Structure 1
Amino acid sequence: MHVNNKLFALDIGTRSVVGIILEEADGHYEAVDIMVREHKERSMLDGQIHDVLSVSEIITEIKEALEVSHGPLTKVCVAAAGRALKTEQSKVAVDISGKPMFSKQDILHLELSAVQQAQAAVAGEKNNEHHYYCVGYSVLYYQLDGEGIGSLIDQRGNEASVEIIATFLPKVVVESLLAALDRAGLEMDALTLEPIAAINVLIPASMRRLNVALVDIGAGTSDIALTDSGTVIAYGMVPVAGDEITEAVSDEFLLDFPLAEKAKRDLLVNQSITITDILGFETEVSKDEAVERIAPAIDRLAGTIGEEILKLNGNKPPKAVMLVGGGSLTPDLPRRLAAMLNLPENRVAIRGLDAINSVSFAAHITKGPELVTPIGIAIAAKQSPVQYHTVHVNGQPVRLFEVNKLTVGDCLLAAGIKMNKLYGRPGLAKIVSLNGKNVTIPGKHGQQPVLLKNGIPCSFDDQVDGGDQLTVQKGEDGVRPELTLGDLIGDLPSKMVIINGQRYEVSAKMTCNNLPASMSKPVEDRDEIIFEMPDTIESILKELNLAEMLNDTRPFLIKIDGIQHKVTEFMGKMFVNGLEAKLQTKIDHLDNIRFEKGKKPTLRRLVEKLGVPATESMPIFFNGQQVQLEQELIQFSRGGTKLGMNERIHSGDLLTTKQKNVQPFIFQDLFNFVQFEIPTDSRGFTLLKNGEKAGFDDRLAPGDELNITFENPMVLK
C-alpha cells in the first residue's frame, strides 16, 4: 500500500507513549502495528510535558522501531491534553445569496472563522489570543436561512451559518509537544484533543443523540467528553487518574513507584499478588484485600470524575458512561463510578477496541481500552484536523493556527494561479560579514502584481463577494541592492559617560575590510564590516585619549634590596556609580566614573606600611611642649643618593639600605627638631635638664624636661 495511505499517530501519556500505524483504504482503517514504551522517568505530570528531552527519546525509540517495518516516518498525528482546557462556543454567518454553489472549502472557511472568533473570546479583552492554541473543535450544527441542515455542500440560499464548540490549550502545552516531536525528527501532521479522538471512534454521529459521557483515564489526567442531542456538548479534564491509584498502592504496601505500578497491573489478572516492600519483607495479598486497602483512592478517583461529569452535564447524570484508557482498568472503578452517579452498574462500562467498528486489527495486536485513544487520534486528526503553520519572526519560529477568510488571495489560489510567479523576481543579494556573522542583503523586491477587483485596484486581503471580477498582472523584477554602511547599520551606537564630573560621548568604531570606514561608504558584496562599542573603563579611556588617568591606578611596585613590594595604599581607586570598580568593569550609558588618588608616597609612609623599624624616637619636653626626637636606624638610598624620611618615592624605584651606627640621644640633638631665636640683647644662656644645669653632650632619657635660659645685659644706671 502507498506510504501516503499510512497514518502514524502518537498518544503521549503520563505513564507511556503509544505509537500506532494505520492503513486507510476506501474509508476503512486497519491497525497494522502498535508499539508501547513507558517513560524511563516521571517526565510527564498531569498530561503536561515537563522533560522535553526524555519524552523525545521515547518518541524516537518508537519511531525508529516502527520504521524498520514501515519505512521512513516524517509526519505524525498527535493529541494534546492539559490542565488549562478552555471551551468556547461560537457562531458565524455568511451571506451566500447569488453564490452558485456552496463548496467544501467554503464550509471549512466558515468553520475556521467561527474558531477564530471563539479564540478571541477565550483571550478576553487582554489581546493575548496568541497565548492560546485551538486544539480541536466540533460542529454543533449548520443552518441555512435560519433552519438546521445536515450539510451545506451544494446548497443555495441567502445565509449560511455554523456554530462550533472549540477547545483551547495554553501555548506552553502545545509548544512542549512540538519541541518533543521536533527533537525526534517528526513534523506535526495534525493535532487533535484526546476527548475528540476517543469520541470520534467510539460514539458515531448516529449515537450522539444520546446523553453519553466518555472518560479517557490515563496515568495523569482523565479527559471527559459529553454528547447529547446529536452533538458533542462539552469537554472537560481532571488531573486525577491512574497515578493516584499507583501512589495509593505505594503508600499502603511500602513499595517504590515502579513496583507499585507493577502490583496494580498484576491485580487486574491475578486473584492474589506477591510483593516485596522497601524493607525487604515479602507478602502475599489477595485481590479483595488489596482493593479494600486502596478503596479510598479508588473512591476519590470515581468521585472526582463523577463530579466533573455532573458539572459538565448540567448537574444531572448522563444515560451511560464509557471508560477507555489504561486507567479505566482500575479494579472496581466502574461499579463505584456508577454508584456515585446513581446509575445502574451496567450503565458504566469499559470499552475496548472491539467497540470500534470502522477499524480492523492485525492479528498480533492485543486489544484493550488503552489503545482506543491512539486509534482515535489517527482517525480524528485525519478527518477533522486542526493544522498549524510556522513563520519566523526575528529568526524565531512562531506557530500559528491558520484561519483564512475569503479574500482575493484565496480566489487566486483556488484558480490555480502560482503566487510566486505573480511578484517580480528579487534582485541578486549581497552577502557581507557584520561583526563576524554573515548577513544577507536581499536584492530589491520585485514589484507587486497589479490586482483589480471589478476594475478597481485592490490588495490580496480584500474580501470578495460572489460575482466579483478579478484581474491580475505580473509585477516588474527587482534590482541588486545599493546601500551605504549607514543604510546597513543605521546610526552607530553611542553612549554618554561622566568622568570626574565631566560628560563625554563615546561612539563605536567601524572598520570595513580592516580599514577605517565612514558611514557613507557603499557596501560591496563580501565586505567584512566590524563595529565595536568600548564597554569597559579601560577601553573607554583609551577611546577618549584619557588613558593617563589610569597611571595612578596601576600597581605601585618598589624594590628594597632586590625584594619587590606592592603597596596598594599608594594606588588610586576607580568608582562606578559609587561602587569600587576595576579596569574591565562594564560601563553603561550615563554611568558615573570617578578616580580617587592614593596617599602621597613618601619613604616614611613606605616603611610604616611595610613595618620596617627604620627610625628610633624619644619623647622629651622643651619649654613645656612635647618634642619627639628621632634618628634613623637605616639609611635608604636611591641610585646612590641618600633619602630622607619625608622624600617622595615612585613606583619602580630601586632602593638600597644600610644599617646606621646608632648613638644615644644627647641635649644637642634637640636643636634638629626645634627652632628658637636667641635674644639680641642676651649676654649668654644656660642649658637646663630637669631644672639642673646641663651640657650639650648630656645624654637624654624619655620624658626629660629641657629648658634654655638667657642672661639679660647689665643696665647702666
Structure 2
Amino acid sequence: MDNHNISVGLDIGTTKIVAMIGRKNEYGKVEILGVGKSKSMGVHRGVVNNITQTIQSIQQAVQEAEAAASEKIEDVTVGIAGQHIRSLQHSDYITRANSDMVIDESDIDRLINQVHKLVMLPGEEIIHVLPQEFKIDGQAEIKEPIGMYGGRLEANFHVVVGQVSSIRNIGRCVKSSGLELEGITLEPLASANAVLSQEEKEAGVALIDIGGGTTDLAVFKDGIIRHTAVIPFGGNVITEDIKEGCSIIEKQAELLKIKFGSAWPGENKDNEIVSIPGLRGREPKEITLKNLSKIIHARVVEIIEQVYVEIKNYGHEEQKKKLIAGIVLTGGGSQLKHLKQLVEYITGMDTRIGYPNEHLAGDSDDDIASPLFATAVGLVMDGLKRQDRKKAEAFEEEIFNAAELEQSAELEQEVVVEQTVKERRSFLDKLTERVKEFLDNAE
C-alpha cells in the first residue's frame, strides 16, 4: 500500500467497528475508497472489555474495507472515547529568563509541559492539552503569542484526561490485529472535523455525537475547542428500555426503534399498532406506537438534559460565550425521528443534523455521508493531516540538507535557527509513540 496518499480511520465503537480507507483528490476533498463494518462484540460504553472479541471484529472490518478498496491496510488512526474521558480547565504561567527576546515555540512547549505535570487521579493520564488563549504581562485575549515580547507568559488550557489502561487496551487490540497504530484522536474532535464548518466553530457550536454506548459532546467558540464531555448513555440504552418496556427480545427492540421509533409521543395516534411475532409458536405481541414513543421520549429527554447541563457548565448562558450556531447532532442515534425538534424544544437552541459531507468528494456514496460514519470520516481526515505534516517535515529536511551542502558555515547556522522553529508536534503524536513503546516492551 502506498502509505503516502492513503489514510485509514478505525472507529472502535460500542455497536459497530468501522474501518474506512480514504485519500485526498486533486481538489483537496476526501475520497472514500472502501468501508468495512462489523458488529462490535467486546466493547461496552466505548471501553474495551473483551480483547479477543474486539480483535476479531477489527479484523473483520479491516478485511471488508481492504476488499472494497483493493488496498492492503497497514497503519490506522484510531478514535478514543468512552466513559472514562473527562475534561477540566486549568491556568498556568511561566516567567521567562530574558524578556528582551521574542516568545518562540520553546516557551509555549515549556508552558504545555508544565501542564502535563498536573497531578491526576491514579491510573489517569492527560490525553490533550489545548491552549485556549494566552496572556502576556497581564495583556489578555492573545490568540498567537509567538513573535511578541513579554516576561510572564500565561494561558488557559482545556485539558482532556483518560484512563491509561483503556488507551493501552485499544493499542493492544490494534497491534494484535496485525496493524500499526499511526495516531490516536479523541472521537468528539474527529466527528467535529467531519461535520462542522469553520464558520460554525467561530460563531460557537455544540456538537452532540450520539453513539451506541456513549454520547460525546464538543463545544467550540471563536474557532477553539472550549469544552468536551462523554456521557455514558447512547442508543443502546433506548433499545434496552424498549426491550424491557415491551417484553420483547433485543433484536426486535432495535428494529422497532429504527423503523417506528419517534422521540415525540404526540406524533402518534392511539390506534396505531405494530404486531411483533411471538417466540416459538407463541401469540404475536401488539404494541401501540404511542407507548413505544413514550418509552423512547423518556430516555432521550434524560440524555439531552445531561448534555445540556454540560453545555451550561461551559457557560453558554453568558452573553460572551453564547453558542450562536446552536447544536449539531450526529452519530447513529441522531437518525431517530423528531429528535431535532425535541432538542430544540428542551434547549431552545437552533439544531441541525450533521452529515460528514462537508469535506467529502462530490461523488461519494450516500451511505458514507450518513451521520453513522461521522467519526470514521473524521479519523480518515486526521490521518491525512498527519501525513501532510510528515511530508512537510521531510520536505523541510531535504531543503535543510541541500542548503547544508551548498552553503558556508555562516549560512548553515541561520538555517539551523530556522529549522528549530518547526511546527510543534501535537501531544497525541507523542502519546501514540508512548503507547507503541509500551506495547513493544510488553511483548
1:197 to 190, 209, 231: 190
Structure 2 equivalent of residue 546 of structure 1 = none
| Cα separation, partners in 2 of 1:276 and 1:299, compared to 1, 3 Å | farther
What is the CA-CA distance between 1:11 and the residue it aligns to?
A: 1.2
- Tell me what 1:37 maps to: 38
Higher strand share: 1
Question: Following TM superposition, by how much is the alpha carbon of 1:225 offset from its aligned partner in structure 2, in angstroms?
Answer: 1.3
Which residue identity lines up with residue 28 of structure 1 in the other structure? K
C-alpha change, 1:63 and 1:221, in structure 2 (3 Å) is same
1:201-239: per-residue Cα shift (whole Å, max 9, x none)? 333444333332111110111111112344221111111
Partner SS for 1:179: helix
Residue 332 of structure 2: aligned partner: 326
Q: Deviations over 1:564-588 (max 9, x none)?
A: xxxxxxxxxxxxxxxxxxxxxxxxx
Query: In the TM superposition, what is the alpha-carbon distance from 1:60 to its structure 2 partner?
Result: 0.8
State yes or no: 1:231 paired with 2:224: yes
SS at match of 1:4: coil
Q: Which residue of 2 aligns with 1:73?
A: 73
- Equivalent-residue separation in structure 2 for 1:331 and 1:149 (angstroms): 43
1:386 counterpart residue number: 428
Residue 36 of structure 1 deviates from its aligned partner by 2.0
In 1, the alpha carbon distance for the partners of 2:439 and 2:221 equals 47
Letter of the structure 2 residue corresponding to residue 309 of structure 1: I
Opposite residue 208 of structure 2, the aligned amino acid is V
Give the whole-Å Cα distance in 2 for the aligned partners of 1:322 and 1:376.
15
Q: Cα 1:362–1:50, aligned 2, differ >3 Å: closer, same or farther?
A: farther
Change (3 A) 1:173 1:315: farther
**Greater helix content:** 2
Q: Which residue of 1 aligns with 2:418?
A: none
The equivalent residue for 2:237 is 244
Q: Tell me how far 1:152 sits from its aligned partner.
A: 5.6
Count of matched residue positions in the alignment of Structure 1 and Structure 2: 380
Provide the C-alpha distance between the structure 2 equivalents of 1:57 and 1:392, rounded to a whole number of angstroms.
Answer: 23
Shift of 1:15: 0.6
Structure 2 residue aligned with 1:84: 84
1:353 alignment partner, SS class: coil
Identity %: 19
- Aligned match of 1:308: 310
Q: Distance in 2 between matches of 1:385 and 1:274?
A: 54
Cα distance in 2 between the residues matched to 1:194 and 1:174: 13
Q: Where do residues 279-678 of structure 1 align in structure 2 (5 Å cutoff)?
A: 280-283=282-285, 287-313=289-315, 318-319=323-324, 320-341=326-347, 343=348, 347-354=350-357, 356=358, 358-360=359-361, 362-366=363-367, 367-380=369-382, 382=385, 386-387=428-429, 388-390=432-434, 396-397=441-442
**Distance (Å, rounded) in 2 between the aligned partners of 1:148 and 1:294:** 44
Q: In 2 relative to 1, CA 209–272 (structure 1 residues): closer, same or farther, beyond 3 Å?
A: farther
Matched residue of 1:294: which SS? Answer: helix
Following TM superposition, by how much is the alpha carbon of 1:140 offset from its aligned partner in structure 2, in angstroms?
Answer: 1.5
CA drift of 1:179 comes to 1.4
Mapped to 1, the partners of 2:229 and 2:202 lie a distance apart of 19
Q: 1:134 to 1:78 in 2, by over 3 A?
A: farther
In the superposition, the TM-score normalised over structure 1's length comes to: 0.48
Q: Name 2:54's counterpart in structure 1.
A: 55
Q: Which amino acid in the other structure matches residue 44 of structure 1?
A: V
Q: Which residue of 2 aligns with 1:464?
A: none
1:207 is matched with 200
2:17 alignment partner in structure 1: 17
| 3-state SS of 1:309 partner | helix
Do 2:129 and 2:157's aligned partners in 1 also have CA atoms closer than 8 Å? yes
- In structure 1, the partner of 2:120 is 123
Residues in 2 aligned to 1:157 and 1:56: alpha-carbon distance in whole angstroms: 52
Q: Is contact 2:214–2:232 with CA below 8 Å preserved after alignment?
A: yes
What residue ranges of structure 1 are gaps of 5+ in the alignment?
A: 399-717
Letter in 2 for 1:292: K
CA distance in structure 2 between the partners assigned to 1:340 and 1:394 by the alignment:
46
SS in 2 for 1:389: helix
Structure 2, unaligned runs of 5 or more: 263-267, 387-425
What amino acid sits opposite 2:14 in the alignment? T
Task: Give yes or no for contact 1:92–1:113 (8 Å, CA) kept in 2.
Answer: no
Instruction: Report if aligned partners of 2:10, 2:20 keep a CA contact under 8 Å in 1.
Output: yes
CA deviation after TM superposition for structure 1 residue 324, in Å: 0.7
- Per the TM alignment, residue 59 of structure 1 is displaced from its structure 2 partner at its CA by 0.7
The structure number with the bigger radius of gyration is 1
Give the superposition deviation at 1:353: 2.3
Aligned to 2:265: none
Q: Determine if contact 2:207/2:328 at 8 Å carries over to the other structure.
A: yes
Q: Supply the distance in 2 between the matched residues of 1:143 and 1:63 (Cα, whole angstroms).
A: 46
The match for 1:641 is: none
1:263-294 alpha-carbon deviations (Å, 9 max, x no partner): 22222699975523447433465655531343
**Structure with greater contact order relative to length (CA < 8 Å, sep ≥ 6):** 2
Q: Does the 8 Å CA contact 2:129/2:160 hold for their aligned counterparts?
A: yes
